[in-house]
Structures are given as structure tokens and as C-alpha cells.
A and B are shown apart, each in its own frame.
Chain A
């Protein structure tokens, strides 16, 4: 029997699930679109990854990360819940011990993580603007009728990248449209967009950070070769795109699951067959005081699993 550790990363755009073994080898992975329905997507993903998993692997620990990490932990029975910044750092330093900088660009957010000797010493994450993240690229690709998978290769074919304003997604789009209308070709515009996004990233989240090699580039957007090339040019060095760039957060969670379940001496994982269970949330407004907190109740079938959202702690409940 092989011990496997499950990591689930539920983000705004994608839901990623992985199972790794004791040597950090990836056994299976699943990538799904969250489509705004995290509960259903996790149930589906879990079922699918259970089907893929070799019969001799037994889940010995589970962890969740991503913006829906708390909700997901209730659904799957996680041993540890961790924020995605720490999860990404753990995955990268486990794969390459000497990594000093991590560039991570996902669906709605982008972050930079600075590590020294395997320890996170600084990080930053975009705050009020999502210009230059996956969602924006997605939107531009569909506007140009190019599939997102081919978007990067278009950029590579460019001879003279056009300068695009990259500070704000809305302005970037109108700048692109204006250049299109002047007759610039699509390749040069896409390459220009890639350069603009890199400029914006370095100026925004990368501002004031000491970027030392090796630099790892991960997150769903790392699939875009055009952006990889733009980063290489800007930084004057080759960034490393790890093989499993799209699921690094989930891998980090799985590594944490191993530690947590060992410490605990077991796992709370509920198993893969949870798609029959009916999970739902209900909320009400507390009338206890003038704060009028919105209290959320989470049910597994008819059983109340957890309650949160109150500021005073009066309603808070965890049946785990």
C-alpha cells in the first residue's frame, strides 16, 4: 500500500486537485474550472481524481488552499487549511531548494514571493487591480477569437511588439483596439500586451523587491510562452517554469497535509465518494445587536457542520 496525500486548491477561476506520495512525486492531478460553483466543482473533481488514482494508493492526509479553502476543508475533511501564498512557497522550495523568487500569476491574482534559504522573507499580492492576470488574458483571447492555449505562441511570432498601456485592464484593452484599428497585426499586438503585463507586474507587485535567480514562474498563466519570453527579456535571465506549474498551490497543500496528518496521527479525509452528499449554505442576519452580522450556516445533508460570519463569536460552531 502506498500512502498518498491530497491537496486541493480552489481558486476563483480553477479548482486543482493533486495526490502526491512520500517522495513528493505527483501521482494524479485534476484541473477543473470553478465556474463560480466551488462546492459542486470540488465534489466532481474529487470523484474524478478518485477514479484516476491507482488502487494501491491510500489517502493518508488532505489539505486545502485557495480562496475557498475554509469552505472546501469542510467538504472534504481536511487535516490542515493553508493560505495560497504559503502553499506556493512550500511547493517551489520542495521542488528546487535554492529558488529565491517565485512569480505566480493566477486567474484573479498575481503574487511575488521572495525566499532566502528556503524561508519566505517577503511577499506581495496585487490588491485593488487585476490587470494582467489570467481572467484578462482569457477575455482578450476570446475577443480576438484565439483560443487561450494558442495565445502565447502568437506572441512568439511577433517581429515588432507594439507598445500597449498596461497599467489598467480597461485602458489596455482600448489601447489594443486603437492599435488594431491602425492596422497593426495580431501577433505584434499580443506580444505587446505580454510586455505590458510584465511591466505592470514588475511595477506593481514586484516594486521594491529584490529579485534574485533562480526565478520560478508558476500559476495557470505560466502556460503562456509569450509571457515567459517577456519575463526573460525584462529580467535579463531565464525564468524556470516547473513541470506542474498550474497545480503548484495544490502540491504545496499536499506537502502540508503530509506533515499535518503525521503530527495528528491520522486523517479526517472523508473519502472520494462525496458527490452523493448534499452540501448547502444558508444565511441569516443576527438580530443580537446593531452590527447585524450575516451568519452563514453550512449543512451536510440536514446536519449542521459549521457556522461563521459573526463578529462576536456567539454563533460560531465547528463540528469537526
Chain B
């Protein structure tokens, strides 16, 4: 079968490997472009949020290239994204694409359905259970390695002395990971990629600001949807950490992981109210970033995203209690990045000034 999936950051490299090694043909989704957006906006309901529109565009692009099946995720809870795959299926049918959308619901929501779909993908590819488990394991290793090199790139970029060197290093590292086919090769490629990034010429005397990136999962994970915000901030001399990596829940070295349960942390501001999507996460994560000494937080929200709007109206209280400035950016169809650049520059000015004032107060206290 010809299988495709949504484009989310660099994860497509691992997912491509997965599809191919399950015995299927992979139609690699292209990075969302203005063409993707045109297609999506044309066929999606006007009031749908930008992730819906970009995915719609992507699905039509891969359908054009011959995709027969699209694997995606479902979801439960009050965010409508959980139903997006159903809507996408309707629209794809209406346009006579013949594409079938297969959505994996969270296993806790419907375990039977989850395994039924998994078995279907495995059997149609002709894999034994043992082979299938092995393929999944290697894919997971690949995703982890991709996240690893990306994380390091965001750490190093603010120190680079030649603009773009880190990003080019990252691309090279990703190419090496793309070519790796087993656990040993992935490990080698990752180590080589990390070394490549560490070798970028740097000015370590800088003391970069630290900003946490939070918000709705798709616009946080897909650089093409968020104006490459982490690269933009990095080139402005800011270190960034984003709250969501596909593998962050299994990591101990990231700021947001299972250990610090974000829902528990957000509770004083939310009570039991389930605000859906990543709204509660946004509140909890703001607190986590403040506790870890970050200078500020940028919240990315699709225009008209209810969970993020609710989070946005609670965040001023969090921001005040924890003394951490938060900038909210609403993301929609605009592709011009000048507006985003202006807001980020002003936010960086604000954070730098705060650091100065804090440092001065510190010195005054020492003198007294």
C-alpha cells in the first residue's frame, strides 16, 4: 500500500523508515508550504484552525502523489482536533481522492480499536509480530536520535559565530540519521551528528536568554507552521526549549516530562476543569519553565483555538505569581514573518532589560 502521514517537524524521517520497513510504499509528506496552505484553506471549513487547514493541504498533496492510506492520530477530550480525522475523511471522500484515513486513538481510550488498526497495518505489509516489534523499536530509536540532535541544535545556535552554521549542521546530521538502518547505525549517526553540532564555531562568552516554547502541539512541533520560531530566536541569540518533543515523555533530562506531572502543577489555577487540547499543559509548563530559571515563555496558539485561549486568559495570573513574562502568538494563514519578528524582538528587549534590572538589584543587595 502507499502510505503517508502528517508532516510534523523532522519526525517524517523516522516515519518514512517505519512505513517502508513495514513492507509498504511511503509517500513522504512535503514540508507545509504556501501551496499546502492554499489547498487547505480552499477545502477546509473557514472557521477550522490552522492545523486542520495545513493537514488538509498535506493530505491533498500526498493524495496527488498517489497515497492510498494516511496514518494519523485521533484524540479524546474537549479539543475538536480529536475529530479532525473524521472531517478530513469526509472532505477527502467529497473530493473523490479515494484516500482512507486511519486514525490511532489513544490506547487508553479504545484499546481494542488501537490493536485492530495496528494489526491491519502489520498484516497488509506482511510482517510477523516479531518483525513488527523490531521495526517499531528501531523507529523509536530513530525518533529519539532525531530529537536528540534537534535539541542540541537549539542549545548551540545562540552561541554560533556564523549565522546558519548550526542549522546547516543539523540538516547534515538529519541526513546521516535518514541513512541509518539499524540500532548501531542510528547510534553512530547520532554521535557523529552531535559532534558536528558541537564543532560549530561558537562564542561561549555569551550568556543567552532562555525561552520556553509552549502551546498547541501541531504549531509547536511543525517549524513551517510557526515561522521556524526556534531558529529565529536562536539566531537572535536566545536558547530555546520546547515543551513538546515526540519523545519528551520518556526523557528525564527534558524540562517537561512524566516526572513533573504538568496537570498536577497546573491544578491550583484550573481545579478539575478539563480545558482540553494542550491548554492545561500550557499553564503547567509555564510554571515549570519559571521554576527552571527560564527568562520567558512564548505561547503558540492557532487562531480561535479554545484550549489555548482559555490558557491565555489564565496565564497572566501564573506570570505574575512566578515572575515570568509570557508572549502569546496567534498563528493563522499569514506567511509574512515580519510581524512575528517585531514581537519577538520586543520580547527579547523586555527580557534583557529584566535581566539587567535583576542583576543591578543583586549588586545593590550585596553592597548593603
Contacts and interface: CB of A to CB of B under 8 A. Distances in A.
Interface string B293-329: 0000000000100000000110110000000010011
Given A85-B346, A120-B350, A123-B350, A313 B330 contact: no
A58 to B, nearest CB: 29
A314 B325 contact: no
A121 B167 CA distance: 32
Contacts of A127: 303, 329-330, 332, 339
Contacts of A121: 325, 350, 354
A67 B346 CA distance: 13
A316 B165 CA distance: 12
A290 B28 CA distance: 14
Contact of A86 (B163, B171, B231, B349): B349
B124 interface: no
Contacts of A128: 303, 330, 332, 334
Most chain B beta-carbon contacts within 10 A, residue among A83, A119, A310:
A83
Contacts of B338: 67
Given A86-B346, A207-B313, A208-B313, A311 B231 contact: yes
A316 B349 contact: no
A303 to B, nearest CB: 22
A209 to B, nearest CB: 8
A313 B168 contact: yes
B253 interface: no
B357 A119 contact: yes
Given A67-B338, A119-B357, A85 B165 contact: no
A312 interface: yes
B167 A313 contact: yes
A149 interface: no
Contacts, number: 74
Contacts of A313: 162-165, 167-168
Nearest to B166: A313
A119 B313 contact: no
B346 A314 contact: no
Interface in A80-107: 82-86
B42 interface: no
Interface residues of B, number: 34
A313 B162 CA distance: 8
A121 B323 CA distance: 10
Contact of B353 (A119, A290, A311): A119
B56 to A, nearest CB: 19
B342 interface: yes
Given A119-B357, A208-B313, A83 B346 contact: yes
A122 B334 contact: no
Nearest to B320: A210
A121 B324 CA distance: 10
Contacts of A209: 316
Interface string A288-320: 001100000000000000000011111010000
A271 B53 CA distance: 49
B231 to A, nearest CB: 7
Contacts of B171: 312
Nearest to A312: B164
Contacts of B165: 313
Contacts of A290: 31
A44 to B, nearest CB: 23
Contact of A84 (B168, B342, B350): B342
A122 B320 CA distance: 11
B345 interface: yes
Contacts of A311: 164, 167, 228, 231
A314 B164 contact: yes
A123 B349 CA distance: 11
A180 B135 CA distance: 69
B355 to A, nearest CB: 11
7 contacts: A82-B349, A86-B346, A122-B325, A127-B303, A128-B334, A209-B316, A310-B164
Interface of B: 31, 162-165, 167-168, 171, 228, 231, 303, 312-313, 315-316, 325, 328-330, 332, 334, 338-339, 341-343, 345-347, 349-350, 353-354, 357
Q: Which 8 A-B pairs have the closest CB atoms?
A: A313-B164, A85-B346, A208-B316, A83-B345, A127-B330, A313-B163, A86-B349, A83-B342
Given A122-B350, A128-B303, A312-B171, 7 more contacts: A84-B342, A86-B349, A120-B346, A120-B350, A122-B325, A208-B315, A313-B167
